[in-house]
Each structure stands twice: as C-alpha cells, then as structure tokens.
Amino acid sequence: MMDALKLDLPSDYSVEVHTTNNRGFTPEEVAHHCANKIISISNNTHPGIQAQAYAFKGHIEKMIAFYMREAIKSDRTTVYNALMDAGHPELAESIRRL
C-alpha cells in the first residue's frame, strides 16, 4: 500500500475546464494538460532557454502519454482477467479487443 501523497499547493492556482464531445480524453490530450501543469515557461525568458524548455516539455508530454497508454493496457488486462474469472468470456474478449 502506498503512503498518501501530500502536496503543498500555492493559494494562487488557476482552474481550467476542458471538454470533449462523445468521448473521453486521449492519453495525448491528458499528457498535454499534465505537462502544462508541471512545466510553465515565462514569455520573458531568453529565447534559447525558452526553446530548450519547450523541447523538454514536448518530451515530457510524450513520456506521460506513453505511460498512460501502458496503464490503460494494464487496466484492460485486469478487467479481462476479472471477467474471465467471473465466467464472462465473451465480454472479456470484447474488452481485450478494445
């Protein structure tokens, strides 16, 4: 069991709302929002440093999206196995094909 994560958040944070139509967010979309929360780049920063920061942010987005896709695959495996154990092979196969 993991210990609870305690975050000390600043009191001046902002809230954003993002929506989709008839679907959930893709791992790439969530990774983009996540990277924006993790990495902020000032417009006043030296252009060379800004370029490096944007390149790093792009790399972080790709890495987050990759691990999110891996987590989704792992969760589907868990659901598949639970459905098989519960005696629902047809439903399990439908989940596996997603």
Residue 13 lies in a domain: no
Asked, for residue 90, whether it belongs to a domain, the answer is yes
Contact 30, 68 (CB under 8 A): yes
Q: pLDDT tens across 6-61, in order? A: 766 666 667 778 899 999 999 999 999 999 989 999 889 899 999 999 999 999 99
Residues 61-82: pLDDT tens digits?
Answer: 999 999 999 999 999 999 999 9
Task: With CA atoms as reference, report the closest residue to 18 among 38, 34, 39.
Answer: 34
Q: What is the pLDDT of residue 90?
A: 96
Q: What's the pLDDT at 16? A: 79
Pull the structure tokens for residue 36: 């924006």
21 CB neighbour count, 10 Å cutoff: 4
Domain range enclosing 49: 27-97
Number of domain units in the chain: 1
Assigned domain for 57 exists: yes
State residue 74's pLDDT score.
96
pLDDT at 80 (0 to 100): 96
pTM: 0.75
Distance CA 27, CA 14 (A): 22
* pLDDT value for 60: 97
Q: Is residue 75 part of a domain?
A: yes
What local confidence, expressed as pLDDT, does residue 18 receive? Answer: 87
pLDDT higher than 60, residue 2: no
